[in-house]
Structure 1
Amino acid sequence: MVIEDYLALSSVLSFNEVSKMIILIIFASIVLTLYGILLTYLTSAEHINDTNKGYQNNSIFIIVSFMFVAALFEELLFRGIIQNVLFLTLEHQWLAIILTAFLFIAFHIQYYRKPWMLLNITVPSLVLGWSYFYTDNLLVPLFIHFVNNVGITILFKFNVIKLKS
């Protein structure tokens, strides 16, 4: 019964401090996008997963749609379910965040052949987990995740950033 109460919609969608949530979404999205840009400049193309190289070739509508569905699925699963259950079990926020980040990394098996890509999802996963606990609203990490993914993909699409040879 405790799990059902904790995972109730009202427990994952608190709207107590909307301005705090908006500021966090904007700030975290900018920082994570800059982090992605920095990693792009530090990483040669051979260390980037092949599927990530092709997203930018799609239309804006396809990019936005795909990135939204991916962020929605991943945030519902990892922050909405896994992180909450781990927190209820372990009763320690950061341990739940870190374990969820490891599971998030494990879920991205396509990156195992390109380990540098794992770094590209580790830091954002920790930020997403923290932002969820900080705001008590699952929409916050969902929007941060979505804006970060779309932002980087659009920057690649319009050649604002390019893969290093």
Structure 2
Amino acid sequence: MKNKQAELIKRMSSNQLKQQVYLSQLLILVVGIVFSFIVFESITDWVKLFEINSSQWLYYGVIPGFIVVLVDLLLMTLLPKSYLDDGGINEKLFKNCSFVEIFVIALLVSISEEVLFRGVVQTSFGYIPASLLFALIHIRYLSKPILLCSIVVLSFYLGYMFEVTHNLFVTIIAHFIIDFTLALIIRFRSKGDSNVRG
């Protein structure tokens, strides 16, 4: 399965990959919103999940987001690159993206995935099923033990933050910081590598 996915990625242009990311994330967002209307008795109950609480955002969103980034950077430093290779998807996606494109992709991914997995699945079925399902959708990590462990831990970490705060803004902020920062690192690291090669 990994070989098929790697072959598919090689055949896609970075623009085609970007389009697939936008389509898949918009689909996840639509599913999350539609199921929110089914799961919650009123729209007011759903809106309550988006509480404006700056101390929660900082302590459960911003700080944990940067902690995850620091752990990822430590893993990148200590482990061989092959242990953290996702089949080239992230590098192909982000290496030619502008700052604005990275911002938009990270924002879309964090909102769509958190609305569905924390906002709908976790509130309906609980912390463990939501965390496991979130980890499973990152199928490209299943054949990489380090990446699989990372995504499982991250999934439970985000789920725990939602359990503590019942605030989707918190998990969206943490998720955004992680995705945005790591995408920028990929973008600028790949530019540095191309300058060295060029």
- TM-score grouping bracket, smaller chain normalisation: 0.7 to 0.9
- Unpaired segments of 5 or more residues in structure 1? 87-95
2:108 aligned partner, one-letter code: V
For 1:12 and 1:38, locate their aligned partners in 2 and report how far apart those are by CA, in whole Å.
Answer: 33
- Which of residues 104, 107, 123 in structure 1 aligns to 2:134? 104
Aligned length: 151
SS of the residue 2:106 aligns to: helix
State the match for 1:35 in structure 2: 71
State the match for 1:137 in structure 2: 167
Q: Please report the RMSD computed on the Cα atoms of aligned residues, expressed in angstroms.
A: 2.6
- Please identify the structure whose Cα radius of gyration is greater: 2
SS of the residue 1:14 aligns to: coil
- Relative to 1, partners in 2 of residues 1:113 and 1:67: Cα closer, same or farther, differing over 3 Å? same
- Which of residues 180, 184, 187 in structure 2 aligns to 1:157? 187
State the match for 2:115 in structure 1: 76
Is the 1:105–1:121 contact (alpha carbons within 8 Å) kept by the matching residues of 2?
yes
Q: TM-score, normalised by structure 2?
A: 0.67
Question: Following TM superposition, by how much is the alpha carbon of 1:6 offset from its aligned partner in structure 2, in angstroms?
Answer: 7.9
- Relative to 1, partners in 2 of residues 1:109 and 1:20: Cα closer, same or farther, differing over 3 Å? closer
Is the 1:12–1:80 contact (alpha carbons within 8 Å) kept by the matching residues of 2?
yes
- Point out which structure has higher relative CO (alpha carbons under 8 A, 6+ apart): 1
Q: TM-score, normalised by structure 1?
A: 0.79
- Percent identity, please: 24
For 1:108 and 1:130, locate their aligned partners in 2 and report how far apart those are by CA, in whole Å.
Answer: 19
Which protein is richer in helix relative to its size?
Answer: 2
Moved more, 18-27 or 73-82: 18-27
State whether structure 2 residue 124 is matched by structure 1 residue 85. Answer: yes
Is the 1:12–1:138 contact (alpha carbons within 8 Å) kept by the matching residues of 2?
yes
State the match for 1:55 in structure 2: 93
- Relative to 1, partners in 2 of residues 1:144 and 1:20: Cα closer, same or farther, differing over 3 Å? same
- Unpaired segments of 5 or more residues in structure 2? 1-38, 194-198
